[in-house]
Structure 1
Amino acid sequence: MSFGSDNQSGASPAVLDALMREFSQKGASYGTDEATKQAEDKLREVFDCDLVAYFVTSGTAANCLALSALGDPWGAILCHHQAHVLRDESTAPEFLTGGMRLMPVAPYATRLDANTVAAHIHAMPDDKPHNIRPQILSIAQSSENGQVYTPAEVQALCGVAHDAGLRVHMDGARFANAVAHLGCHPADISARAGVDVLCLGATKNGAVAAEAVVFFDRTLARGFPERMKRSGHLLSKGRFLGAQFSAWLHDDHWLDLACHANARAQVLAMTLASIKGARIAMTPQANEVFAVLPREVCAQLAAAGIGFAEWYADAILPDKVDLNHEALVRFVTSFASSESEIAGLAKAGGDTGPFS
């Protein structure tokens, strides 16, 4: 019973079936195949706009290659202080961008705010070439804290960024969960809101290993295949990524998977809240649940084989958790999370929740 990450789940049967069919066929190499073309066409249909997309096998590759296409090595990338590109992608962003600097904004806030970002940009010194200047704003949707930006919030952030001459990158590792939560058109929190490049993740939500770098402005994709080749991310059998994406997007399957994960997160949050001494740190909006648990409860759950992650304490205000006796922890649900798994958590925690 692991809630450590949605990466720990397998793959959707529909995606696997499509992959198996592609395995049995021959096709062109290096992304020039029909499966890849069909996946790109499907993305145009889903986002209702012209775009160009490239497929890679990891979120780190997607994010860092996308960032490299948006800025110069001497520029800065503004991001949330908990951003995955800042906290959990090692030095890959610096390596693949040639040295761009990641600069965190808004400590302790659960998400970026347009006014805060605008103030941060305005406060940065501008003595060229001596001072580093921001070139990219990176947003995660859903956010690192399991929160979802509304269409208006994304539009406001993009507006501030574009007014200052910045490009906007969106880390969409859990983009499907955000769309499922909002019930909006996918373009409302991406292309129509002003996002320049979306890294659309399928791996956490039913695919094997498939991420799409989606450029809503074709001019920004200039040289991107060369970036992929240079960094070792241009797959010879790229059709296996295209096949996954086509099946994943077909008939809103990606949103069905995300809706399931989100619904399970709501039940999991209620279960955790029923455990003595536990409290939910942030109301879950996608498929991540953050809670403050007594350390003895953490030990109790771990002993029962419940998987979860102790999280960065600075994700919330310091006075919200007593680190001597408590821990901020993260539980993640997925398309494969079951009622029985949450019931097992309830039993291990001795709660009085919905499955006790």
Structure 2
Amino acid sequence: MYFSSDNSSPAHPKVLEAISKANEGYMPSYGTDPIMDEVRARIRETFEAPEAAVYLVATGSTANALSLACFCPPWATVFCHRNAHIEEDECGAPEFYTGGAKMTLVEGPHAKMTPANLRRTIEFTGRGGVHNVQRGMVSITNVTEAGTVYTTAEVAELAGIAKEYKLPVHLDGARFANALATSNASPAEMTWRAGVDVLSFGGTKNGLIGVEAVVIFDPAKAWEFELRRKRGGHLFSKHRYLSAQMLSYLEDNLWLDLARASNRAAQRLSDGILKIGGSSLIHPADANMVFPALPRALHRKAMEGGAKYYIWPGNQSLDGPADEAVSARLVCSWCTTDEDVDGFLGLIS
């Protein structure tokens, strides 16, 4: 009953097998390995983007920060939701790698920017000319930090507003597979066809040991990304181990199968929670994260029974009236079982 994070789940056996196979003999370094050639071709095919530049890094923070740095100058700002990962959870990495670009926060329910708020915020920015930070780019998180999913139409609407102001668009897809599994859109429809210029394509939260892809749909930015990756210390010498993980992820659509499994587990979990008296969800459970509000007494029972998850936000306490609602975050992974879910529901029923 481990629902703390999908980061905590094990790697898929096929990933370990691929790494073991890649470990045989010698292979060129720094991303010139033949496995990376296959990865590049497979991602281009998957996204229907034959000219896309494709690079691998080890962490989502790196993928996001380097992507933003390539498209946003130091004197500009990145428009993102107040609860976006690049705002709340990157310890200033985007600001650091861009050389000082600002995050300008856009409001919207359930961690989703609304088109009206995005337009209003862009319009307000840079009105004082040289005295103000300038309009830089838009970043969309999908799946959001609240577990909600932007539909393809919603991504396209936000990106369309960005394009009206000639702003590039970044999509933080740490859980991109989960968003696709929910929406049934194609990778191309969710990204470049909707107006996305650069994608952080996640794998670590979905069965890999540690690798993310950066997919740049404008190949003119490729060389700059390579330089920034090297200068930032994120070019792996034994790159084949990153390549092997990503190739195994893409083969036979493993990445989507794993996302569908975690989404199904979260749906089973959310459905079961809503059948329990005094319970509710503070955000829609669109993908693999569930944010329930439960009486404090039920949280105590669950944790005493061995369930692992976070009270969310963390400034709440398990000390207090037993019937008072306390919210939490539970995250399902590719290997969350029906037994895990039913065991948790049994504790709080």
For Structure 1 versus Structure 2, the TM-score category normalised by the shorter chain is: over 0.9
Offset of 1:109 from its aligned partner? 4.6
Match of 1:327 in 2: 326
CA–CA distance in 2 between the matches of 1:249 and 1:233?
A: 22
Cα contact 2:108–2:114 (8 A) shared by 1: no
1:221 Cα deviation after fit: 2.4
Could you tell me how far apart the structure 1 residues matched to 2:81 and 2:295 are? 27
- Aligned match of 1:354: none
Distance across 2 between alignment mates of 1:311 and 1:134: 33
Structure-1 residue corresponding to 2:185: 184
Cα distance in 2 for partners of 1:89, 1:113 equals 23
How far the C-alpha of 1:313 sits from its partner, in A, is 8.1
Letter of the 1:77 partner, please give it. Answer: V
Question: Matches of 1:25 and 1:348 in 2, distance apart?
Answer: 51
Give the counterpart letter for 2:55 in structure 1. Answer: Y
Q: SS of the residue aligned with 2:121? A: helix
For 1:219-272, what per-residue CA distance to the aligned partner results, in whole angstroms no more than 9, with x for missing partners? 122321221111111000111111111111111111111111111100011222
* Residue 134 (structure 1) aligns with: 135
- Name the CA distance, whole Å, in 1 between partners of 2:60 and 2:219: 21
Are the aligned partners of 1:73 and 1:97 in contact in 2 as well (CA < 8 Å)? yes
SS of residue in 1 equivalent to 2:297 = helix
- Supply the AA of the counterpart residue of 1:38: E
The whole-number CA distance in structure 2 between the counterparts of 1:60 and 1:181 is 24
Deviation track 1:122-178 (CA, whole Å, cap 9, x = no partner) reads 122422211112211110111111111111111111111111121111100000001
**Stretches of structure 2 lacking an aligned partner (at least 5 in a row):** 316-320
Relative distance call for 1:117 and 1:313 in structure 2 (3 A) is: farther
Cα pair 1:63 1:199 within 8 Å, conserved:
yes
Q: Which amino acid aligns with 1:66?
A: S
Q: Which residue of 1 aligns with 2:10?
A: 10
Query: Using the alignment, how far apart are the partners of 2:304 and 2:163 within structure 1?
Result: 50
Aligned residues of 1:126 and 1:132 also touching (Cα < 8 A): no
**Count of residue correspondences:** 342
- Mean Cα deviation higher: 17-26 or 232-241: 17-26
Shift of 1:11: 1.1
User: 1:343 Cα deviation (Å)?
Assistant: 1.8
Partner in structure 1 of residue 104 of structure 2:
103
Structure 1 length as normaliser, TM-score?
A: 0.92
Alpha-carbon distance in structure 2 between the residues aligned to 1:327 and 1:136 = 36
Q: Using the alignment, how far apart are the partners of 1:61 and 1:281 within structure 2?
A: 30
| Deviation string, structure 1 residues 69-113 (Cα, Å, up to 9, x no partner) | 111111111111110110111111111111111111015454112
Q: Equivalents in 2 of 1:110, 1:86: separation in Å? A: 12
Partner of 1:339: 338
Partner in structure 2 of residue 249 of structure 1: 250
SS of 1:27 mapped into structure 2: coil
Deviations 1:153-207 (A, max 9, x none): 1111111111112111110000000111111211101011110000000111111
Contact 1:177 1:287 survives alignment (8 Å): yes
Partners of 1:25 and 1:256 in 2: how far apart?
31
Q: Which residue of the partner structure matches residue 317 of structure 1?
A: none
Q: Distance in 2 between matches of 1:251 and 1:52?
A: 22
- RMSD (Å) for aligned C-alpha atoms: 1.7
User: 1:141, 1:170 within 8 Å by CA — same for their partners in 2?
Assistant: yes
TM superposition score normalised by structure 2: 0.94
Match of 1:32 in 2: 32
Structure 1 residues not aligned, in runs of 5+:
315-321, 352-356
Distance 1:294 1:98 in 2: 46
Q: Is 270-279 or 66-75 further displaced after alignment?
A: 270-279
Counterpart Cα distance in 2 of 1:88 and 1:25: 39
The answer (yes or no) to whether the contact 1:313–1:328 under 8 Å persists in 2 is: no
Deviation above 6 Å: which 4+ runs of structure 1? Answer: none
Letter in 1 for 2:71: L
